[in-house]
């Protein structure tokens, strides 16, 4: 839930602080007072595109800050945890700074985040619905998204399997197209690949070879110092004062003590013997190393030449030895594909045919599962839109085969509607008026509000083009949605305003030759006055005031 909003130097707003509550909150006011600007400001908090035009004229930056209650937003809390953002007492502070250069900075709980991360988190908290989203309802792609969302995971496995097969099929088609476009450039590339492969193959690359070369080169380069150190170490273990001899004497003495005091010094003797044998082994290793260590100029030259070769290959291809080995294998595979063009294309065509058959099987299974859910969704939508004063409306969810499989399935899914009795079912963009579209979208929102898991929804003049009894039904529907999550709505309808739990009036005034916006919560007579204005327009009479009062009293008794 959005609890509070602070706006500074944003458009015509110099400074504004608004407190929000749960339930249905309506924003009303004269045209141009700044209602949509407030929605735009909230839009910045959910990651909408920023513009330097948002910064108040003459100011360096605009600042929008919102306080959200995320107590029940489990998905958002999980995403915040993944981003390493601390959450204190289930509250979230989201801040957006927009500079007059056009750049912006996003922060969540005072931690800077990317615009993408802000969008990902905030889409789980708040949904802004405006005219652009109503227009999205006309697009077929939106229909399949709605159906899949309504399914709520019922056929996730089938959808995942289909998309996996589709991606594999597309990858094979791309691979075949690349092979079939073989031309002079491809032949030239083949020559280059052969040269690179031969060069790498001739090098006989080995994993971890560089590290061993460094050790061997260092050994030979420092052979004189190494010989001296080995000799001194060996003498320490073999001269007349050798520590191994003293340890042997100590072991003998401990054995004599052990015969007098059985088991008292047994453990100590075992430790001394272990040290003795360890040093004896070291003595033999030093001896062997001394015999092997010598300055071999030829060997050093060979090792350094090998190291130079490997370094040149790394510089040339920009990779380490492990990458070079993998690159060599990749080159060999690509060379084989090109040189065995006919065989490769034949195999690819066979793979594509097999995947195409599997894609149809997976697609048919997905369509069967979608049709089951579609029947339930269709009944649900019809019930909702008929409740919104479209009593004779009918809606069907159409399934028609694509010419070829698409990423979303093998069938074109579209919502078809007949708004009036006796009219045939047609596409939404052919028959639906603005008011009808608004009601259909509101019906969909009421269906999906529980499944989305969001905590607030903002309606930006969603009631446009609606009046009379239809407006009353839309007000009741918004009230029902507000019983589940917080609803904030810009409205020109008195029915919606009178149904609200909180009514905020947006006005503008001039101060020091500048226009600024203010917000006032309306109660009592002030609220009646505003609803009366919404009923009659500019002229408010005692009769319209009485009508407004009766409308408010009646709608406040509505039980969502």
Q: Is 149 helix (H, G, I), strand (E, B) or coil?
A: helix
Predicted pLDDT at 134: 61
Q: What are the angstrom distances between the C-alpha of 195 and each of 205, 317, 326, 403?
A: 16, 13, 16, 45
Cα–Cα distance for residue pair 207/347, rounded to 1 Å: 33
Structure tokens at 286: 């030093």
pLDDT tier, 494 (very low <50, low <70, confident <90, very high otherwise): very high
Calculate the CA dihedral of residues 233, 239, 242, 245 and round it to 10 degrees: 140
pLDDT attached to residue 517: 84
| Buried/exposed code over 92-119 (b: 16+ C-beta within 10 A; e: otherwise) | bebbbbbebeeebebbbbeeebeeebbe
Q: Are 35 and 98 in contact (CB under 8 A)?
A: no
If you ran DSSP here, which 8-state letter would residue 423 be given? P
pLDDT class of 2 with cuts at 50, 70, 90: very high
How much is the average pLDDT of 28-54? 87
Give CA–CA dist 197/201, Å, rounded: 6
Helix or strand holding residue 287 (H, E): helix 266-292
Mean pLDDT, to the nearest integer, of 174-193?
76
**What is the pLDDT of the chain when averaged over all its residues?**
85
In this predicted structure, the answer to whether residue 518 has a pLDDT above a threshold of 70 is: yes
136 to each of 42, 145, 153, 197, 437, how far by Cα in Å?
21, 11, 23, 53, 10
- Count CA atoms within 13 Å of residue 536 on its CB side: 16
Task: Report the alpha-carbon distance of residue 313 to residue 318 in Å, rounded.
Answer: 8
Contacts of 263 (CB under 8 A, 6+ apart): none
pLDDT score recorded for residue 291: 66
Instruction: Report, as an integer, the average pLDDT of 172-177.
Output: 90
Containing 504, the helix (H) or strand (E) segment is: strand 502-511
Count CA atoms closer than 13 A to 357's CA, side-chain side: 5
| Ranges of each domain in the chain | 1-135+454-522, 201-318, 523-559
Strand pairing category for 111-113 and 91-99: unpaired
Going by pLDDT thresholds of 50, 70 and 90, the confidence category of residue 400 is: very high
**Confidence grade of residue 310 (pLDDT, cut at 50, 70, 90):** confident
User: 9-23, 98-112, 154-168, 432-446: which has the minimum mean pLDDT?
Assistant: 432-446
Contact assessment for residue 377 and residue 403, using Cβ atoms and an 8 Å cutoff = no
1-135+454-522 is classed in which CATH architecture? 3-Layer(aba) Sandwich (3.40)
* CA–CA dist 469, 492 (Å, integer): 15
User: Which whole number is the average pLDDT over 309-337?
Assistant: 86
For 278-287, how does the pLDDT look when each residue is reduced to its tens digit (9 = 90+)? 888 887 887 7
- Considering Cα of 460, then 465, then 471, then 476, what sign does the dihedral take? negative
The answer to whether the CB of 318 falls within 8 A of the CB of 327 is no
Residue 223: band (very low, low, confident or very high) from pLDDT cuts 50, 70, 90: low
* Portion of the chain with pLDDT greater than 70, in percent: 93
pLDDT tens per residue, range 190-206: 888 899 999 999 988 88
Dump pLDDT digits (tens) for 523-538. Answer: 999 999 999 998 887 6
What's the pLDDT band for 174 if we cut at 50, 70, 90? very high
3-state DSSP assignment of residue 391 = coil
Q: What is the CA radius of gyration of the chain?
A: 39
Contact assessment for residue 452 and residue 127, using Cβ atoms and an 8 Å cutoff: yes
pLDDT single digits (tens) 444-477: 888 877 655 667 888 887 767 777 888 888 888 8
- Report how far residue 505's alpha carbon sits from residue 509's, in angstroms, rounded to the nearest whole number: 13
Tokens 């600024």, located at residue:
516
Confidence bin at 257 (pLDDT 50/70/90): confident
Report the SS3 class of residue 58.
coil
pLDDT for 294 equals 64
């Amino acid at each position: 839930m959005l609890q509070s909003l602070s706006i500074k130097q944003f458009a015509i707003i110099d400074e504004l602080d608004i407190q929000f509550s749960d339930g249905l909150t309506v924003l009303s006011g004269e045209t141009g007072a700044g209602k949509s600007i407030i929605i735009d400001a909230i839009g910045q908090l959910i990651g909408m595109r920023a513009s330097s035009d948002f910064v108040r004229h003459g100011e360096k930056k605009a600042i929008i800050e919102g306080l959200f209650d995320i107590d029940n937003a489990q998905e958002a809390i999980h995403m915040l945890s993944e981003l390493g953002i601390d959450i204190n007492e289930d509250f979230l502070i989201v801040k957006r700074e927009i500079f007059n250069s056009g750049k912006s900075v996003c922060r969540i709980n005072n931690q800077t985040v990317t615009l993408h991360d802000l969008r990902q988190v905030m889409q789980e908290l708040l949904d802004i619905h405006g005219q652009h989203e109503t227009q999205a309802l006309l697009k077929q792609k939106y229909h399949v998204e709605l159906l899949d969302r309504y399914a709520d995971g019922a056929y996730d496995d089938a959808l995942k399997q289909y998309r996996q097969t589709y991606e594999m099929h597309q990858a094979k088609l791309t691979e075949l197209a690349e092979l079939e476009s073989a031309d002079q450039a491809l032949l030239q590339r083949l020559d280059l690949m052969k040269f690179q492969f031969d060069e790498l193959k001739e090098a006989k690359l080995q994993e971890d070879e560089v590290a061993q070369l460094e050790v061997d080169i260092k050994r030979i380069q420092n052979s004189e110092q190494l010989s001296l150190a080995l000799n001194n170490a060996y003498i320490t273990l073999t001269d007349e004062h050798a520590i191994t001899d003293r340890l042997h004497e100590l072991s003998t003495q401990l054995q004599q003590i052990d015969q007098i005091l059985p088991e008292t010094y047994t453990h100590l003797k075992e430790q001394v013997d272990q040290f003795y044998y360890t040093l004896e082994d070291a003595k033999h290793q030093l001896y062997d190393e001394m015999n092997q260590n010598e300055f071999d100029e030829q060997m050093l030259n060979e090792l350094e030449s090998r190291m130079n070769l490997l370094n040149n290959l790394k510089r040339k291809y920009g990779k380490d030895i492990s990458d070079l080995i993998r690159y060599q294998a990749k080159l060999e595979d690509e060379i084989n594909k090109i040189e065995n063009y006919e065989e490769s294309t034949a195999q690819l065509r066979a793979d594509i045919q097999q995947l195409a058959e599997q894609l149809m099987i997976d697609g048919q299974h997905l369509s069967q599962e979608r049709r089951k859910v579609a029947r339930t969704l269709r009944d649900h939508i019809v019930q909702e839109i008929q409740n919104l004063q479209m009593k004779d409306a009918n809606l069907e969810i159409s399934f028609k085969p694509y010419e070829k499989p698409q990423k979303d399935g093998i069938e074109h899914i579209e919502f078809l509607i007949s708004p009036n009795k006796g009219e045939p079912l047609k596409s939404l963009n052919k028959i639906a008026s603005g008011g009808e579209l608004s009601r259909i979208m509101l019906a969909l929102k009421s269906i999906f509000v529980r499944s989305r898991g969001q905590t607030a929804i903002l309606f930006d003049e969603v009631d446009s083009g609606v009046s009379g009894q239809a407006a009353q039904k839309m007000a009741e529907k918004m009230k029902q949605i507000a019983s589940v999550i917080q609803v904030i709505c810009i409205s020109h309808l008195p029915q919606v305003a009178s149904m609200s739990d909180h009514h905020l009036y947006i006005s503008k005034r001039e101060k020091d030759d500048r226009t600024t916006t203010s917000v006032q919560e309306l109660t009592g007579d002030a609220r009646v006055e505003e609803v009366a204005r919404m009923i009659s327009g500019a002229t408010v009479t005692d009769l319209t005031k009485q009508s407004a009062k009766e409308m408010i009293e009646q709608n406040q008794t509505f039980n969502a």
